[in-house]
Structure 1
């Protein structure tokens, strides 16, 4: 297929048959996709900031608030006027949060594996890649991986100051084992 496009008044061909023009078009696509880097190594393009994955630091989650090995990557921190933070959280098999609640709602977007979220006094709900859980403010809950599988989600929380999350006791091991088996299907 021989494809042509006009970009900024320049006729470009997106076919190897056009030689130099195709190379210019490829360079334009790369430049448009990344833009110039700022001093922090981020890409800014039309007021959009792209933070490359290679620039993030993965940190262990605080052991006082989690059971098992849990890793966190901060994706976005609140920058006025926004109050939203986003964190990629990866749970090793059997890892989970303590019981906790937030002053504002929490949105969990499952990205890998099978995990669960459980509200105190209710049965657990399964989370698979692509599922979204919305936890209202003040609801005591926990979330994490099922036994035998990695699980990852992105947590979105609107912060209401530094103490937005109240951490409670760990989920009892017997309670976790009774519910953390892979769902059928």
Structure 2
């Protein structure tokens, strides 16, 4: 058994190559093999969002606080709020983040396949985001 104490978890500013705006990440679960589960608490400042991306084994998002958006390549954009849970199927191109005027924090849960949990694509344009 391993217990990770809250005082040992550090917030990290997310890599700007994969996000627009300021996004903070805190690891929750990074289980050793043969387990594959990975979970992060991700906090988006207003207007912040991920780049387009996919997950080889899918992803679950559970909104902890605030109001966010999630979009798919077909142009669908949905508002998500505290308490909502979203399942994104494997290899579906999508993005998610905060609304322009509200922060959003979610738990992102995914599994690693061959050591990778996401495949990153291009940034979400302002037109795609504002058009939401």
Q: Same fold (TM over 0.5)?
A: yes
TM-score interval for Structure 1 and Structure 2 normalised by the shorter chain: over 0.9
Q: Residue 112 of structure 1 aligns with which residue?
A: 65
Structure ranking higher on relative contact order (CA contacts 8 Å, 6+ apart): 2
2:127 pairs with 1:171: no
Q: Residue 96 of structure 1 aligns with which residue?
A: 49
Report 1:5-154 matches (<5 A).
47=1, 49-154=2-107
Query: Which of structures 1 and 2 has the bigger CA Rg?
Result: 1
Structure 1 residues 55-75: Cα deviation after superposition (integer angstroms, max 9, x where no partner) = 101101110000000000011
Please report the TM-score for the alignment, with normalisation by the length of structure 2: 0.94
Please report the TM-score for the alignment, with normalisation by the length of structure 1: 0.68
CA distance in 2, matches of 1:168, 1:63: 13
**RMSD between aligned alpha carbons?**
1.2
SS of 2:131's partner is: helix
Structure 1: runs of 5 or more not aligned? 1-46, 180-185
Structure 2: runs of 5 or more not aligned? none
Identify the structure with the greater helix proportion. Answer: 1
Paired residues of 1:145 and 1:151 also in contact (CA < 8 A): yes
